[in-house]
Structure 1
Amino acid sequence: MDQSFEDFLELKNKPVEEEHTASKKSDNPTSVSRGFRTREVRVTKIPNHFQAKKTENILILVAFSIGLGSTWRFPYLCHQNGGGSFLLMYFILLLLLGIPLMYMEMVIGQWLRMDNIQAWKYLVPWLSGVGYSNILACVLVVLYNSALVSWSLFYLGQSFDYPLPWQNCPLVENLSMVGNTCLWSEPHQYFWYHTLLQASNQMEEGIEVLVLNVTLCLFATWIFLYVTMVTGIKISVLMMIFSILFSNVLLLCFFIRTLFLNGSVRASLWRLVTIELSILASLDAWRQAGGHVLYSLGLGMGTIITFSTYQPRGENYIKWASFVAMVNLATSLLSSFVIFLVMGFWTTTSGTMCIKRSVSNLINLIANGVLPKAAWPPGDIIHKPPLEYLAWINQLPNNLKSQVIHQTLPCSILMQKEKIMEGPGLSYVAFSQAISLFPGSSFWAIIFFMSLAIMGLGTMLTLLEGIVLPLQKSISTFAKHPNLVQVLVCLGGFLGSLVFSSRPGSYVVFLFDDLLVPMVLIIIVVIQNLSLAWLYGIKRFRAEVFGQLGGLVWSPFTFLWSYVTLPTLLVLLTIYFLNLYYSGSPYYVSWNDSMSHEVKQPYKKIPLGWVTFLSVLALLPILVHPLQHWWYLDDPNICETLEKPLSSKKTVTVPNRVTQWPVHPMRKLTLRNQEKSKALFQSKSPPENFLHPQTLITKKDSENYSTFSLPDATLPSQVGFSTLAIHEVSKYTGHSESFLDSQNTGKK
């Protein structure tokens, strides 16, 4: 039996060594897609975005968290929900939900060394559809993030004009009510709704009409993503550090410049640090804060598990999860400061103050000969209501009227309230205003919107790799044809995102961002938390992580997973359901063209029906997999097939703890364990902590964590020393029958 065991170890280790040799030979940096075809390369060679380097993967997570979620989404949510009150709610939920759940996904990825699909198949086979729901959630996020990137590209293209096209009212030939809207709103707001979006008055109006400029930018976005994925353009550590630091340096410059605007600190910055008890009691504000915590950190999308898979052992993920969360919070605060300061400037310079500034500007233009003397305003116009000023402009000749409107200062004549803008375009409009305040504004616009587009594209690449990699590993067709999944994802993404380039496209973006995606993420994270904490078991999880990684999971986090995060998520999910189906109809912010300002309109049944349909579609794999397991387990043909081979051989029943606390398939076999395993085959009965032969790995591999082997997700984890173990040994030794007889008779 000694010789048989040596033969077994030799044959078991030989394929592993061959995988090392094959992987080294196939290490071709010019071909990324080839890495998905075979298991050997899949284990040791990964795409350029997922290089097994600690610094690079952490930087990817940081860049993902401070992307469009911090610079675009957080500021307008903060503005909608009272400023300081929303900040407090977000910080509380970040501590109770964000950091613990991010730590949980990081530990799962490092422990199992699997992608998100295989990880949940291993943990709870009945809920193995969670991984596919992660992918569908990523698809929803990628779709509407492509619209945000296309908006950034459009602003970038317009930034090469001087002066910037959003600084002044456009010069129109046939003046009408639409031509005067620039006097009723901010020119930056006018550019957003009329020039970029060409927005309709309602979500149901003009859905079949595509805006050409946005559609072309959307097409360019998906072409860039496809080329990047196929060619495998490497994003180096230095480039990621530059993009992270550069975006924050730009935000800091904007903050310093807007801090000196007239009335900005007094009007709005104080509101950002003021807490209102009435807003703290709002369930809708808590709903939006909780949804943003999950969205900004990427929880429930599977990307954290995928990136943590390639991290070296022994990482302090408590530190890294806290670091990523705090960087995300700091960037969100800096963006919010800039936008609130700009809004304070709008409030101070609008209404009567805007008329005074405009009259003074017209007088200077007439004195310098830019405008004729016929454009001289009445002397007492500054003391009259704003409508009198508009009436005077309307009675001017058409040619003169167009010149006066075009030379109007960037301020609103009629805007009196602070909430001049509440829609998802707030960040674009406010940042374009901040850029206009700098000398050489075109230069600042180019570098800012280029940085914004790069951040958006980086976020989308992270999400797309989180979609492509698990599919290539789990579906045989995609494994044989790795480029196929990239073509399908990018082509389907472009066709699916065309709805966002329609005239009500910004309203559809708001529908996805406010209702659909947060609700799907909360449901997925609830199931993940429930699966790990209660179905798999916290004690079992801690024991296996300790055996595999050599360190204990921090006990306060296990308490949070069991008794804090899960109830909090369920409360947030209940609020979402009440907001969507039982309370008053949720609303969206649309543009009223005739009144030239934003209005709140309730969603009709058709958009809410689409939210329900897409939510069920994204969560369908979670429901399908339990039914699939139940169907195959209850199939009498399968039962007969399983019973016949098992009944033909004798089994050895050994009571041990392995059936209660299974040894993880990734456990390495050290030299000491090898001696124990040799003694096992010579003993009458196996010891309690016998490792299944599936886990035998060479000492060379146990020292090199970058060349790990993915365990078979279909292998039963609760296996003692029984017929299954003997069959595994018999593949290499050919002594299964003799070994069975020796066990039954007490002989070697």
Structure 2
Amino acid sequence: MTSTSRAPRQRETWTSSTGFILAAIGSAVGLGNIWRFPGVAYENGGGAFLIPYLVALLTAGIPILFLDYAIGHRYRAAAPLAYRRMARPAETLGWFQIGLSFVIAVYYAAVIAWSLSYFVFSFDLRWGDDTGTFFTGEYLKVGDPEISATIVPGVAIPLVLVWLAVLVVIALGVTAGVQRVNVIGIPLLFVAFLALVVRAVTLPGSTTGLDAFFTPNWGALTDPAVWIAAYSQIFFSLSIAFGIMVTYSSYQRRKANMTSSGLIVAFANSSFEILAGIGVFATLGFMANQASIGIEELPGLTGPILSFVTFPAVISQMPGGTFFGAIFFGSLTLAGFTSIISILLGVAASVGEKFGLGQKGSALVVCLSCAVLSLALFSTTSALLALDTVDQWANNVGIVFSAIAMTVLVVWVLRKGPTLKAHLNAVSTFKVGWWWILLVGALAPIYLGYMLYERVRTLITEGYEELPQWFLNTFGWGVIGLVVLAAILLTLVPWRGRDEPEFVPWPPLQEEPASLLQPGSSTTSDILRPRLPEQEEPR
């Protein structure tokens, strides 16, 4: 039987806008909010960094988030099928984005496993006095840069538990699995982290850390690198341009208010980042006070070193450290978990749509594949170095390239900007105008192109962390090459799913002429306020 004769598949939807918003916040609020933003802000002007950060949020983060929402909500599918419905050759970009999600999930789970281990360690302060040696030596057993097959049981066991939990949630689906976890988890995360921040600001020396975090260095605003850092932080923290939000919005109800939801998600994510900055630097101020040193002399202000070396050292010195540690690492685990299920939902949905697999079948195939690779690569003695390298290339090369390709393809090649603008305005109370297409189609490719050029130039000319070139070629450029190859091959595979032939756009808007890119067009008001049909089209 051909796919055209199969019955249309009913698409699952979020039960409410609240469920969608909490899930989207859960995706955006992840490990980077806690261990990346505070250090980036401190190193790029302190309080003055909030100015380029806000500009980046308004001119790049929110507009590209709206673009993801518009694509997913209008074309009712995960990234590969959504792009295919715009133009068949564009499917390859969707698979490239999903390939990046797959890669990120494989190593992201390892960091969640570390957080889960440290949650247990916090009850007896098992890391001892030398937290750096414990993390890299006793716990991870880090060796030389190599492709190691030596499994570290202390990492492998919690990693298996993480993958079992992810499999269960993805197999349960959008409402019974992903939505339920986020409806419970996100309020719990905010309450727990708020309690952590309140405790941090009452510690001796906390004001020293807060002064370091908020004191503005206005001269930094003239440094282009500071603005690039701001755009980078916004771009990476909102989970945009690699298929996650396309998938999430595809499960949103037909008449859902998309732009208002996007604004809530974006500002909630930024609020959590600022809250994390307060908590982290108040804690670092306490540590600096105890050691009678400056903030800048502490061992690590960003990344895994901050979370698994610096923070355990602080926890060991503070009153009630075991409780504080449990809250911190519990929050880190929860933030990571809500993010990874959003990443894997997009991958599972894409595989299910392409190959006609059911919800449980696609979840099983994707999660088991990820789990095997995750255990083989990131529970070994080479895990830390391999993880750091893959993360650097996936985020700073892969996702940035994906965003450039997406904005150029959608706005300039396929000319879908006006249609997507009309779609957002048809279902939303907050209307977008020609300025949105200008930001997405012109500003975004320019700043993203500069970011990509600078990063690739640096990686080629200077390498990364003094690692050998063969290691960078394998876990850096090699991983990006595999994602490109997989995207091409998956595009060539015939569609076996039931969804692709039955798609009918809704609302049934007419394609907007290119002239609507300019304000003042005679037909703009008609497009901005199209009538919504009384009933949805058959699926």
TM bucket normalised to smaller: 0.7 to 0.9
Please name the residue that 2:194 is paired with.
252
SS at the partner of 2:299? Answer: coil
CA contact (8 A) 2:17 2:261 kept: no
Letter of the 1:43 counterpart: Q
1:449 partnered with 2:329: yes
Residues 75 and 493 of structure 1: CA distance in aligned 2, closer, same or farther (over 3 Å): farther
Distance 1:544 1:554 in 2: 9
Distance 1:509 1:288 in 2: 22
Please name the residue that 2:499 is paired with.
none
Residues 337 and 208 of structure 1: CA distance in aligned 2, closer, same or farther (over 3 Å): same
Letter of the 1:489 counterpart: V
Residues 190 and 483 of structure 1: CA distance in aligned 2, closer, same or farther (over 3 Å): same
CA contact (8 A) 1:61 1:304 kept: yes
Deviations 1:246-273 (A, max 9, x none): 3223333332333243433235633443
1:575 partnered with 2:454: yes
Residues 530 and 623 of structure 1: CA distance in aligned 2, closer, same or farther (over 3 Å): farther
1:96 partnered with 2:37: no
CA contact (8 A) 2:93 2:406 kept: yes
Deviations 1:569-625 (A, max 9, x none): 11111112112113x2332xxxxxxxxxxxxxx232123212112112223366669
Please name the residue that 1:420 is paired with.
299
1:617 partnered with 2:482: yes
Aligned ranges 1:185-584 → 2 under 5 Å: 188-200=131-143, 202-204=144-146, 207-231=148-172, 234-235=176-177, 240-266=182-208, 269-275=211-217, 277=219, 281=223, 283=225, 287-350=228-291, 353=292, 418-422=297-301, 423-433=303-313, 435-436=315-316, 440-476=320-356, 478=357, 483-498=360-375, 499-537=377-415, 540-541=418-419, 545=423, 553-582=432-461, 584=462
SS at the partner of 2:176? Answer: coil
Give the alignment's Cα RMSD to 1 decimal: 3.5
Distance 1:337 1:574 in 2: 33
Please name the residue that 1:57 is paired with.
20
Distance 2:538 2:354 in 1: 15
Distance 1:454 1:107 in 2: 28
Deviation at 1:110, TM superposition (A): 2.1
Aligned-pair identity (%): 22
Q: How many residues align?
A: 500
SS at the partner of 2:242? Answer: coil
Deviation at 1:486, TM superposition (A): 2.7
Residues 622 and 505 of structure 1: CA distance in aligned 2, closer, same or farther (over 3 Å): closer
Indicate the structure with greater helix content.
Answer: 2
Residues 540 and 557 of structure 1: CA distance in aligned 2, closer, same or farther (over 3 Å): closer
Of the three residues 84, 104, 110, the one matched with 1:141 is 104
Deviations 1:660-719 (A, max 9, x none): xxxx9435799xxxxxxxxxxxxxxxxxxxxxxxxxxxxxx96454xx545xxxxxxxxx
Deviation at 1:317, TM superposition (A): 2.9
SS at the partner of 2:77? Answer: coil
CA contact (8 A) 2:74 2:506 kept: no
CA contact (8 A) 1:215 1:501 kept: yes
Deviations 1:494-547 (A, max 9, x none): 222232222342232222233333311111111111111111225652586389
Larger radius of gyration: 1
Distance 1:530 1:165 in 2: 51
Deviations 1:214-237 (A, max 9, x none): 111111211222233335592486
Deviation at 1:60, TM superposition (A): 0.3
CA contact (8 A) 1:129 1:621 kept: no
CA contact (8 A) 2:152 2:379 kept: yes
Deviation at 1:301, TM superposition (A): 2.1
Of the three residues 63, 67, 70, the one matched with 1:107 is 70
Please report the TM-score for the alignment, with normalisation by the length of structure 2: 0.81
Identify the structure with bigger relative contact order (alpha carbons < 8 Å, sequence gap 6+): 2
Deviations 1:17-59 (A, max 9, x none): xx9xxxxxxxxxxxxxxxxxx754x324x2xxx5343221111
Letter of the 1:251 counterpart: F
CA contact (8 A) 1:143 1:493 kept: yes
Distance 2:328 2:425 in 1: 48
Aligned ranges 1:42-53 → 2 under 5 Å: 42-44=9-11, 46=12, 50-53=13-16
Residues 244 and 432 of structure 1: CA distance in aligned 2, closer, same or farther (over 3 Å): farther
Deviations 1:635-675 (A, max 9, x none): xxxxxxxxxxxxxxxxxxxxxxxxxxxxx9435799xxxxx
SS at the partner of 1:586? Answer: coil
Distance 1:140 1:543 in 2: 31
Gaps of 5+ in 2: 494-502, 510-531
Deviation at 1:288, TM superposition (A): 4.9
CA contact (8 A) 1:538 1:558 kept: no
